[in-house]
A and B are shown apart, each in its own frame.
Chain A
Amino acid sequence: MSRAAVGSVVASFAVFIVAWKLVVLVSGYPVFILPSPELVGARFVKAWTDGTIEPHALATLVEIGLGFALGAISGLLVGYALARSRRVERIISPYVVAAQATPILALAPLLSLWFGPGLLSKVVICSLIVFFPIAISSMVGVRSVDQGLLELARSLRATRRQVLTTLEIPGALPSIFGGLRVGVTLAVVGAIVGEWAGADRGLGVLVNLARGSLFDIPLMFATLATIALIGIALYSIVVFAERRLVGVR
């Protein structure tokens, strides 16, 4: 990242903090309604150094990792099938769309009942929320591969595998990565929703504890900041991978 880019990121963050502070000063909200940025910052540092946040963050990261992997793999496979077969698309796309349209917040408690309160239900909830954008972006990406190149490959008697690895995957990658960018941030949401449906550990649990039992609103904000940082970090990893595999766009 260039110095100018780093500078603009730092500047925009500074503007955000100043705006937050001004809102606190002008509104007069008490700490337990809207804490100031310096209070949240101090609580953030304390919560990490005294071990409050770490175990919860690790639990959430495991859920995100496994959920994203499951959702992405299934999304890629289903997306490819949807792209390659109109018949498959006619049969399964209504169910894919219905799964996306059904609020995950309504499904999460049921999934927690079916799969238990442990890691599995969180991974399933997370993967469900990740699946749709990756499936659709994969389908769109594969269909966007130049038909002329595909016909050329067929005329040269390229095998199915050769068509897949030399044309379809490289051609679909930009679109797939678009879906992965969306999916990885939704994976964070899915993990938190899964924890709200029943868990004894995780950043979603910590948000509820801070807000509802401890009334420690600065801790709640510090936890939300941690969730946001995880989302930003994971998104950056996907962008980095995209630039390595696809190039800068």
Chain B
Amino acid sequence: MKEKTVNELNLGELGVVNKIIGEETIKRRLLDLGLIEGTNIKPVLTSPSGDPRAFEFRGSLIAIRKEDAENIKVK
């Protein structure tokens, strides 16, 4: 089965973070925000142009661009 990224989650669909891949700086940034393995994440808003989307995790609402969201794999 192909791994899903949070990008592929529909609005309101819950995902559980499995792994963050990609470039070190952005990875660090996402980790610092608490996006570690096992974190529940849910897209809740889409901006008018479709990108970025805002995700809810650990009680905060954070906007993440498509290219960064593609690096967040979910279970």
Are these two chains actual partners, yes or no? no
